[in-house]
Amino acid sequence: MTRRELLWLTGAGLLSGADPQNLSYPLRSLQGAVTPSEMFFVRDHFQPPELSLGTWKLRVEGRVQHPYELNFSDLVELPSRKMEAFLECAGNAANGSAISNGVWEGAPISVLLETARPTPAAAFVLLEGADRGALFPDRPTLPYTQIVPIEKCLDPSSLVVYKLNGLALPKKNGFPARALFAGWYGMDWVKWLQRIVVLGRDVGQTAFEQSGMNRVYNRVVQNEITRVAAVRVKSAIAWPANEAHLPAARHLLWGFAWSGSAPIRQVEVTTDGGKQWMPADLSSRPGQYAWTRWSCAWDAKPGEYMLMSRAIDQSGAQQPLQRDPRRKDTYELNWCAPVHCLVR
Amino acid sequence: MSLTGVLRFTALCVSAHCVLIAACPDPACLLTQVRVDLSRNDLDALKSNLRELAARFPNDLETHATLARILAEKNLFMLALAEALRAGPAATVQLAALENAVGAYSDALGNALPAEKNSQLPSELRASAAGVAGLSYESLGEPEPALEHLKTAIQLDPSRDNSYLALADLCERLQKYADAVDVLQQARLHAGDSPAMLLSLGADLIRAEKYSDGIQILHTLLQRDPKVEQAYISLADAARRMGNPDQEVEALEGLARCNPRYPMLHVLIARAMLNKEHPSYPAILRELALAERSTPADPDVFFLRGKVLAALGRQQEAISALRRSIELRPMEPGPYYQLAKLYQKLGKAGMAREQFERVKILETAGSFSEKMNK
């Protein structure tokens, strides 16, 4: 990716297309552990499409023996799974709010694929949304697409979801159906899903490459480029806000912690910039793919402080104190970000 | 029967059930199976039978409309919606209502608006469609068309009380309390005096500052049903707005008789008692002790106790209570302010200044967060 492209990507909204939405809400405005649907973050690439339940169709095709199309009624009447899972944008800043956690319901992608009977050559799955636009100024107008290995699609936790927090998906969150890849970054959770295409090992020229999507969401470590997928272990301080002025008192610091690899085992908090760490209480049960809310009592005396939180998951993965200096991309920003505050 | 026997019997039933479904000659037979699945609460079998019905009888719109109704009665709204979508024109208003129920508001409008305008349909059905349109607009954050369609729903079927209640509820949210009162008074004329109607009317009359009328309506309601807890709360609200703490305490004591476990009840009573011209401090402390017993970590209990103890001249105990309130809710300026005043009274100017400083920090933070929220 060129520097010009990088600037284009990280500028206003993500990319081109008329009015892609870019919404998020401060984590401190959340009560409990589930993000209300209306407060879910949104990072769009293109303008949301106008879809209706009566006309929406999902086509399953490609390297399958039985390509088919299903409508919304067919989808809802398939065996379903309900799951609490967090959704994080791959470019969410350290201590950023492009992360939400909801209760999702939908049909396993494996069920949809089994009906289509993939051929032995099947290796990847292309997911296509109904939103479209030009990802880069020099690229054609194409639908939003992502390519995911078929193993991940066949995992029982990978779903085509149609419900969020008990109601239909809001339009901005992919109505009427979107992909859910639990524990993976949000770009693969293709919204306004309209097509699932099974691909062979040789992916060939798809809208994914033609649009330039293969050039973004990559981890660049020196000259090695790999695709961003599973969410790195991370925590965020929801309260207090950076540069807050607080009265000297016993305060409850709180926030959230999550990891795509394993449930959270522990969260630690420092108030002195990392010299001493104290354990936080996990106030919601860490789930396989759900975030956990944590809190930590702090007897704040007058002075200046640098707060940080650090999460450790059950696989032993620990949030790093700093960004890997070899990284040249703007994804997986999971280092322990400081929150400065003044107590008087 | 042994566990193995139970399992074998269940397996036989399941396989017999499957054979039966495959052999079903008509949709009525499958409908029966669906009812059986529902009575067993067997969602997997239910979905399997719904798929079977869709595959074998895709054009039997009446059956799908019937299924939508049966499933909606069991609150399975998403599945009901799936069937209503299959039913198509046989269930347009039903479809719109289900779309609204599951949160697909734009789709609900797409189906409700043409039905509302269709003069060939019975007016009751058009009223339902108008009601759905109103509720969907409201959910989409568009209050003006919501008001219009709810009014149309009332015009099309004036005997239906839920249209009035929905319209009054929307007026309340828009803080148009006088309009809400007008709607509910119309409702009393055309749709009768349901308890929900009287409760809303009483509360809205109070919000519209027509206190005596509101109080009268709420007393009428409580004469009919003394268990309507919210009516006591509205009566207490009226008394507070009228600056009559005696009546406020009386209303809250009525609530205590009705439900002694009502959340925050004793704090509410203590606060009302504290507003009396000659408060009985020992009685307030007794209420606060009761409140502490039910919610030991309620900062308001300690804040009010601090104020009462300060008024009784028990300064050190007051300081402890206020400090406890701060510990439980450190970002609330009230207890710091009371503490500052106490220190001032005790001649501890430096400590008072420190607390006033904290009040200032919190007030600045408050106005900052207000700005942020705007």
Q: What was the ipTM of the complex prediction?
A: 0.90
Rounded to an integer, the average pLDDT of B16-22 is 49
Least confident of A61-65, A213-217, A284-288, B80-84: A284-288
pLDDT digit string, tens, across residues B321-367:
999 999 999 999 999 999 999 999 999 999 999 999 999 999 887 65
**What pLDDT shows up at residue B350?**
96
Name the amino acid, one letter, at A325.
P
**What pLDDT shows up at residue A9?**
40
pLDDT of A192 > 90? The answer is yes
| pTM, entire model | 0.89
pLDDT digit string, tens, across residues B183-192:
999 999 999 8
Cβ-based burial of A192 (10 A; exposed 0-12, middle 13-18, buried ≥19): buried
**What pLDDT shows up at residue A149?**
97
Residues from A contacting B (CB-CB < 8 Å) are 26, 37, 52-54, 71-74, 76-80, 162-163, 167-168, 170-171, 175-176, 244-251, 344
Q: What is the 3-state secondary structure (H, E, C) of chain A?
A: CCHHHHHHHHCCCCCCCCCCCEECCCHHHCCCCCCCHHHCCEECCCCCCCCCCCCCEEEEEECECCCEEEEHHHHHCCCCEEEEEEEECCCCCCCCCCEEEEEEEEEEHHHHHHHHCECCCCCEEEEEEEEEECCCCCCCCEEEEEEEEHHHHHCCCEEEEEEECCEECCHHHCCCCEEEECCECHHHCCCCEEEEEEECCCCCCCHHHHHCHHHCCEEEECCEEEECCECCCEEEEEECCCCEEECCCEEEEEEEEECCCCCEEEEEEECECCCCCEECEECCCCCCCCCEEEEEEEECCCEEEEEEEEEEECCCCECCCCCCCCECCCCCCCCCCCEEEEEC
A238: Cβ contacts below 8 Å, ≥ 6 apart: A26, A27, A28, A30, A254, A255, A256
β-sheet bridge partners, residue A341? A244, A305
Tokens standing for B299? 């900062």
pLDDT digit string, tens, across residues A201-225:
988 789 999 999 999 999 999 889 9
Tokens standing for B120? 């060939």
Say if the Cβ atoms of B47 and A250 lie within 8 Å: no
**What pLDDT shows up at residue B366?**
60
**What pLDDT shows up at residue B4?**
43
Contacts of A244 in chain B (CB under 8 A): 365
β-sheet bridge partners, residue A86? A101
Instruction: Calculate how close chain B gets to A326, using CA atoms only, in Å.
Output: 37
Distance separating alpha carbons of residues A38 and A25, to the nearest angstrom = 10
Question: What pLDDT band is residue B21 in, cutting at 50, 70 and 90?
Answer: low
Instruction: Calculate how close chain B gets to A198, using CA atoms only, in Å.
Output: 24
Maximum Cα interatomic distance, chain B, rounded to a whole number of Å:
93
Distance separating alpha carbons of residues B334 and B362, to the nearest angstrom = 10
HSE at residue A185, side-chain half, CA atoms within 13 A, is 25
Mean pLDDT of chain B: 91
Q: Which of B51, B61, B85 to mutate to test the interface with A (most CBs of A within 10 A)?
A: B85
Inter-CA distances, A296 with A34, A241, B66, B127, B272, Å: 20, 15, 54, 54, 35
Task: Cite the DSSP H helix spans in B42-194.
Answer: 43-56, 61-73, 77-87, 92-102, 105-117, 123-139, 143-156, 161-173, 177-191
**What pLDDT shows up at residue A26?**
93
What element of type H or E holds B2?
none
pLDDT of A169 > 70? The answer is yes
Q: Which of B361, B370, B371, B373 to mutate to test the interface with A (most CBs of A within 10 A)?
A: B361
Find where tokens 């704040």 sit: A300
Strand A303-313 to strand A339-343: parallel, antiparallel, or no bridges (unpaired)? antiparallel
Tokens standing for B217? 């309506």
pLDDT of B293 > 70? The answer is yes
Contacts of A251 in chain B (CB under 8 A): 330-331
Q: Which of B139, B50, B41, B57 is nearest to B97 (CA)?
A: B139
**What pLDDT shows up at residue A30?**
93
pLDDT of A16 > 80? The answer is no
The DSSP secondary-structure symbol of B260 reads: T
Percent helix, strand and coil across chain B, each rounded to 5? 80, 0, 20
Say if the Cβ atoms of A52 and B106 lie within 8 Å: yes
Say if the Cβ atoms of B330 and A175 lie within 8 Å: no
pLDDT digit string, tens, across residues A231-279:
999 999 999 999 999 999 999 999 999 999 999 999 999 999 999 999 9
Inter-CA distances, A148 with A116, A121, A245, A275, B129, Å: 17, 15, 46, 41, 43
pLDDT of B16 > 60? The answer is no
Dihedral sign for Cα A27, A28, A29, A33, please: positive
B231: Cβ contacts below 8 Å, ≥ 6 apart: B199, B202, B218, B221, B222
Say if the Cβ atoms of B86 and A162 lie within 8 Å: no
Instruction: Calculate how close chain A gets to B326, using CA atoms only, in Å.
Output: 7
Say if the Cβ atoms of B358 and A344 lie within 8 Å: yes
Say if the Cβ atoms of A250 and B330 lie within 8 Å: yes
Dihedral sign for Cα B343, B348, B351, B357, please: positive
Say if the Cβ atoms of B110 and A72 lie within 8 Å: no
Angle at CA of residue B245, ends B241 and B249, nearest 5°: 115
Cβ-based burial of B99 (10 A; exposed 0-12, middle 13-18, buried ≥19): buried
Name the amino acid, one letter, at B94.
Q
Number of H helices, E strands in chain B: 21, 0
**What pLDDT shows up at residue B186?**
96
Rounded to an integer, the average pLDDT of B12-21 is 46
**What pLDDT shows up at residue B22?**
58
Distance separating alpha carbons of residues B260 and B158, to the nearest angstrom = 39
Say if the Cβ atoms of B104 and A168 lie within 8 Å: yes
Instruction: Calculate how close chain A gets to B364, using CA atoms only, in Å.
Output: 9
**What pLDDT shows up at residue A331?**
97
Q: Indicate the length of chain A as a whole number.
A: 344
pLDDT of B174 > 90? The answer is yes
Question: What pLDDT band is residue B85 in, cutting at 50, 70 and 90?
Answer: very high
Which is higher by pLDDT, B42 or A4?
Answer: B42
Say if the Cβ atoms of B104 and A162 lie within 8 Å: no
Distance separating alpha carbons of residues B338 and B304, to the nearest angstrom = 10
Say if the Cβ atoms of A77 and B357 lie within 8 Å: no
Find where tokens 């199976």 sit: B33
How many Å from the N-terminal Cα to the C-terminal Cα in chain B? 66
pLDDT of B103 > 50? The answer is yes
Comparing CB atoms, the residue among A162, A250, A344 nearest residue B357 is: A344
